[in-house]
Chains A and B, each alone.
Chain A
C-alpha cells in the first residue's frame, strides 16, 4: 500500500520530461580557467541565460543585418529591373539600418560608440530626441562630469549643476551652447529670407553638424557622411529654448516638420529592394518614430531593442517587438530581440561583437 502511494507521489514529482537534447542549447557559462579572453567571454553570453542570452541573440541578429545581401534572396520577383537581376549588383545591396537612441545615452559615454558607427557610415538613418542632439554638441564646447545618483537636488541647484542620473552638466555648458547657437540661428534666418531656404529639423541638424566641426561629435560625422538625423520633437529641449529666445530677438525662423516626415517615411518606403533593420536604444519618441516609418513598408526585417521598459503599463516604450508585429511595424518573418538592459552596458558590448569586429576583419583582410 505504501509502495503504491510512494510510486504515485514519485511519478507526480518526478514527472517524466521531454528530452531537450538536440532541440535547445545547453546552458554553459564562461570558464575563466581559459584565461581572460574577451571575445570568448562575449560568445559565451549566448548560453549563459537570461539577458546575457538575449544580448547574445541581439549580437546574432545584428550580424545577420550586416551580413545580408540581396544576393541571398534566391527568389527574384518578375517585375524587378535588369539591374536588380545583375548578380554583382545583388551582392552590393545591403540592409538599411535605422539607429534610434534617447538623450540620456548621448549624455553618457555611449555617445562615443554612436560616433564610431556614424563616422564609418555603419548606419543609414538616425532618429533621436532634442537632448540627443544638444548633449553631443555641448560636449564639444564643455565636458559632462561623473557625479552620483544620490546628490541632493537643492544643493546641486545652488551650485548651478544639472543632474542626469549620475552625470553632472554645469549650467555654464548651456550658456556656452546658447552663445554658440544663437548666431547660427541668425545666419539661418537670413538664408531663409534671402535665399528662400526652408529649414526642417534634419536640415538644421546637418547645419549644426557642419558648424560644430569637431571629430568627437556624431552630428559632425552625420553631416560628413550624409546620414540624415531626424528629430521631430526638436523644440523639446535646450535647443527648443534657444529657438524660443531667438524668436523674441529676431522672429521669423520657420522649421518645417512636414518635409521631414516625408523624408523619414521615404527612407523606409524607398528602401526596397534593401531589407531594413532597426537598432533602438531606449524608448519614447525614437523607438516609435522608427517603428512607425517601417510600418509604411509593411514592417522591418530585423529589430533589436535595448531598453529597460516594461510592458505591463501598456506603454509603447515598454512594448516588446511582438507588439510591433501586431501593428505591421515589424514583419512576422522578422528576426527580433529585446534586451532588457541599460544600454550603457549592452550597446558597447554589442558593437564590439558586431560592427567593430567586422570592420577590424575587413581592415585586416585589406592589409
Chain B
C-alpha cells in the first residue's frame, strides 16, 4: 500500500479524503482504500507471523461505487488508508432528460451535479416513484471526491 497511488482530485483544501489506520484494527463492515478505490470490507482474515514473514491481514472488499470485488494483503502492523464516507439525504425535486437529478439541499438551494445511479433496481425505483408523484428522499454517499445515490427513502404518497 503506497501513498503514491492516490490522486486527490477534488480542489477543496478542507477535509482530507482518507485517514490512516493500522491494518490489524480494520474490521468487517469497515471501510478501506484498495488500489485507490474506497471499499467496504466484507471479509478479513489474519495469518499469524510465520514462514511468510510478518503477520498479515487479508481483506476482501467491495468498491462502494462500482460494486467490484477487490482484495489486498497488508502486514497487520502497517497503516492502511480508510476513506471518510459521508451519507447525506436530499429530497428529489426533478429528473432531467440527460439523466441528471435535481436535489433540494438543507439550505433551500438545489444540487444538480449528480446523475441517476447505474444500479438497475434502484434506478427503476426512483423513476417509478418519481413518475407516481411520490415524495422521494435519496441517500447520497460520498467518499474520496466521488458521489453517488445509493439508496432511496419514500416519505409517503403526495
Contact = CB atoms under 8 A, between A and B. Distances in A.
Interface of A: 160, 162, 171-172, 174-175, 177-179, 238, 241-242, 244-245, 248-250
Interface of B: 1-2, 49-54, 56, 71-74
A175 B54 contact: yes
A177 B52 CA distance: 9
A247 to B, nearest CB: 9
Contact of A174 (B1, B51, B74): B51
A160 B54 CA distance: 11
Given A171-B49, A171-B50, A241-B51, A249 B1 contact: yes
Contact of A178 (B1, B2, B54, B73): B54
Given A160-B49, A162-B50, A245-B56, 10 more contacts: A162-B51, A171-B50, A175-B49, A175-B54, A238-B53, A241-B51, A244-B52, A245-B52, A248-B72, A248-B73
Given A245-B73, A249-B1, A177 B50 contact: no
Contacts of A177: 53
B73 A242 contact: no
A53 B2 CA distance: 60
Per DSSP, chain A at the interface is: helix
B2 A238 contact: no
Contacts of B50: 162, 171, 174
Nearest to A176: B53
A297 B56 CA distance: 47
Given A249-B1, A249-B2, A250-B2, A238 B72 contact: no
Nearest to B34: A248
Nearest to B71: A248
B2 to A, nearest CB: 7
A249 to B, nearest CB: 7
Contacts of A244: 52, 73
B25 to A, nearest CB: 19
A193 to B, nearest CB: 15
B72 A241 contact: no
Nearest to B56: A245
Contacts of B72: 248
A102 B1 CA distance: 35
B1 A242 contact: no
B73 A174 contact: no
The list of the 9 closest CB pairs from A to B, nearest first, reads A178-B53, A241-B52, A248-B73, A171-B49, A238-B51, A175-B54, A174-B53, A175-B53, A174-B51
Contacts of B73: 244-245, 248
A241 B49 CA distance: 12
B44 to A, nearest CB: 14
Contacts of A179: 53
A238 B1 contact: no
Among B2, B54, B72, B74, chain A packs the most CB atoms within 10 A around the CB of: B54
Contacts of A241: 51-53
A178 B75 CA distance: 11
A238 B49 contact: no
Among B1, B50, B51, B53, chain A packs the most CB atoms within 10 A around the CB of: B53
A29 to B, nearest CB: 44
Contacts of B51: 162, 171, 174, 238, 241
B98 to A, nearest CB: 38
A156 to B, nearest CB: 12
